[in-house]
Structure 1
């Protein structure tokens, strides 16, 4: 019996940046387009994990440099029915807002920027400097891919 692991056939050819900011996803995509000279557009379908949680995703395929840029939210807020009983038969149902994370190891990260490159290396320092120059971004840094348990969530 031969068991294949995800690492057996998937080689990480991407760079991942974590972004901390309190902006909406469309606003951050606009600022990234403006400051990094990108053309990110929202994909018609969000990342969806069995209707459990959905994460907005933006993409730009730079055919000239053989790079694909993705901006994906790490946070999904979903309103759900509360599980405790109020003791009233026909009372109003309490609703609570639950927060889910795409990558659970980075609960405080708001967004991830994934840069997939087929041909040339990504200049991480230059990108980080440009990200830090955006006043609405609190902080940004490169993520060590070895620290992520579920890398399959980043395949899109």
Structure 2
């Protein structure tokens, strides 16, 4: 009797996208405004944040669908600071304190130093990544920006937004 084997990798199509890591200290809405101006795009804040249930962290996301070039642009925050109370096992006394602890979570931990990630989904392979990087680097508030290779990502699943 013949044994048939179904390989799922034949059916899974690799998503085509460009990813740019951006280092800057400004707020997400300000960076989205500056990127809109520099790149002539229209990023808008989505009604929901990306929720990472494992770490109780929320990451802000901006999106623009360019229907003329079949591209979807996403700007997502890579860092989230969560403040929690550290409960001590002491009795309630006059001098007991509940110190707060701030934990920093990253959407893509292997690039934790990047404050923001700009993901460009490409239906067609018309990629001008070098030109986009040059325009981003001309923004005064941006410290640096660089391209991130898909092969170097261990947590690609975190970048699926739809």
Partner of 2:71: 67
Q: 1:94 aligns with which of 93, 96, 99?
A: 99
Partner of 2:33: 30
Q: TM-score, normalised by structure 1?
A: 0.90
**Rg bigger for which structure?**
2
Partner of 1:77: 81
Q: 1:57 aligns with which of 51, 56, 61?
A: 61
Distance in 2 of aligned mates of 1:53 and 1:8: 32
Distance in 2 of aligned mates of 1:67 and 1:28: 20
User: Does 2:49 match 1:46?
Assistant: yes
> Which ranges of 4 or more aligned residues in structure 1 deviate by more than 6 Å?
none
Partner of 1:17: 20
Q: 1:133 aligns with which of 121, 138, 142?
A: 138
CA RMSD of superposed structures (Å): 2.0
Provide Cα deviations, 1:66-105, integer angstroms capped at 9, x if missing partner: 110000000001111225x273425342211110000110
Secondary structure of the structure 2 residue equivalent to 1:9 = coil
Distance in 2 of aligned mates of 1:59 and 1:27: 14
Q: TM-score, normalised by structure 2?
A: 0.87
